[in-house]
Amino acid sequence: MTFGFAPASAAASTSAASANRLLEPAEWAAAGIPLLRNPREIVSGLHARHHPQPATAVVAVLDPDERLRASASFVRRPAPADGWMFRNVLLAQLRRVIPHDLRRRTPVRTAVLLYCREGDARWTEEDGAWMWGLRDACTLHGLRCGAYITLTRDGWQVLGEGRGGRRPHSASEPEPFGMSEAPPPPPRTGGAASEILRRAAAAR
């Protein structure tokens, strides 16, 4: 067995990331996030339900068979990326749309996050803050932390998995529902907290 220490620059980078409450791609990939069986179907379904525009986040809860059980969309307010703030917003949305699973020894439902943003598909610090926020919100709500998906003009990408596609993208029209044979649940838009975020975004 071999022991070693990270180089000072790497340790400093990790410390800075922790202070900013964000996750680097390597940390996310090493966290054991469950792989989606059919990510394109999930992305297309969420896009069809919520039709997200740039700066819109869609959080969704899937059952063990990857059927959609609840989802909510909201607009990210213009502020520095902070995982703690994102965690609080995500947790508030989850509490609105689905009961917690904290009484279970092992989580059975999984939360995934689709974030529509400007720019290309490369990881950004904003993505790292969303990853941190999603992981923490799932822990506090008794859910498994699932995939983090970006939607840009280039298409969609499941970060940390290397899977993606060109459609849907941030400017495409919604496609037909395909996530489940069951009728799609109505989209949730987040109530007062979401309205505040929308007003802040509109004021930009």
Cα separation, 94 vs 55, in Å, equals 19
Q: Which residues of 136-153 are buried (b: 16+ CB within 10 A; e: fewer)?
A: bbbeebbbbbbbbbbbbe
Cα separation, 194 vs 204, in Å, equals 16
Cα separation, 201 vs 158, in Å, equals 25
**Domain spans in the chain, listed from the N-terminal domain onward:** 13-202
Q: What DSSP element (H or E) covers 163?
A: strand 163-165
The DSSP bridge pattern shows strands 56-62 and 68-75 to be antiparallel
Of how many residues is the chain composed?
204
How far from 40 is each of 9, 55, 68, 116, 121, CA to CA, in Å?
37, 20, 14, 15, 16
Q: What are phi and psi of 144, to 5 degrees?
A: -80, 140
Q: What pLDDT score was predicted for residue 161?
A: 82
pTM for the complete prediction?
0.77
pLDDT in tens, 62-96: 999 999 999 999 999 888 889 999 999 999 999 99
Rg over alpha carbons for the chain, rounded to the nearest Å, is: 17
Low-confidence ranges of the chain (pLDDT < 50): 1-18, 179-185, 187-189, 191-204
pLDDT in tens, 102-127: 988 889 999 999 999 999 889 999 99
